[in-house]
Structure 1
Amino acid sequence: MKLETYISTYCHIRNNKILINGKPFIKDAFDTDFSIFSKKVYKDLNLSYPKFFKMDNLSKLAFLAAECVLNREKTNEDDNIAIVLTNRASSLDTDRKHQSSIQDKESYYPSPAIFVYTLPNIAIGEISIKHQLKSENAFFILDAFNAEFLHNYACSLLENNKAESVLCGWVDYDNEKYDCFMYKVSQIGDIKHTINKLQNLYKIKD
């Protein structure tokens, strides 16, 4: 018998706005860049995690979305929460900064603080460190949000007892353009976890 899976919490971060379960977390949009917006969200979430300010923008985006989802539920380091994220641009935004530092003849050696973020799965690492997660994780590069891929991968992890729940999503950041949709899947929740439902939830507008 196929395992019944559900979405318990989901979050969108787009256009300087955040929606949690379809409702505004920050009611007003801010006509500003992501750096300022992310600091505002950090403050509104009452976070105390100084390492946040050293992260690249992709990691900040994923980190904030994960906080919005996981903080809605009680989690601890014993929870077997897998993480499966996807995007289109990989770590390209940070890669450009790294390349620029290499090409700077006056300061040839690139900054290790930038270099460490030239892999997209570092975003997963930042979430895992914050929430003390030691379970399965993967970051895939796709052309666009793929509900079928995420649905099937999450269900496979749950059906094969690789995880008790899965934090899934699309986290794309490139040149100040960003789009994030993150959600948690398990055998407990109010929203049936289906491909069509994921497609509809992703398309929710501000």
Structure 2
Amino acid sequence: MDNTTRSERSRNLVIQAALTIIARDGAGKLTLDAIAREAGISKGGLMHQFRSKGAVLQALLEHQVEYFEKFSGDYMANDGAASPEPHLTTQIEVAREAISQPQSVAFAILGAIGEEPGLLSMFRDIDASKLAAIKAEAADPEMATLRWMAARGLLLSALFGLCPLSDEEREQLFDHLRDSKRWETLARAAKKRSTKK
């Protein structure tokens, strides 16, 4: 096994160990010693890959970003391109997919943000670019933004365990948010009402 492959394998072991610790014990128990023990590697080997706990937290977030960027690209190529608003439809599906992830992923993200609030800037930059693409393709940029933010609200309320909806109700709302024709009809009806006044 070459050094690059060994290094990537060690990196993945560390990420999976960190996810396991956060899910099982909570973000407060995530230490370099605990990660090394869980991953079955020496602390020195861990620190060769990650110099600090912050570096591990950043790797967790980057791991999630990579996963969802791949999901997004695959969805856009296969299903989203047929939509009149492909970027919006894709991002709604990304939110739906994020809910289906194991809770350990959500805890990892929350744990990382709690430990290193500055890591949020990575998500703000990504979200700003996603929103710009959504607005650029939309006939009604405000409505598209509202739909995207509603999907994000469903995601966040589920991740925080605050969503009062059943899984079926939440899925139905995601379907409604994706349905561009429904929103076009609502926009036309609202416009018609405003011109009658």
What interval of TM-score do these two structures reach, taking the shorter chain for normalisation? 0.3 to 0.5
What TM-score, normalized by structure 2, do the two folds share?
0.35
Look at both structures and tell me which one has the larger radius of gyration over its CA atoms.
2
Higher share of residues assigned helix: 2
What TM-score, normalized by structure 1, do the two folds share?
0.33
Higher share of residues assigned strand: 1
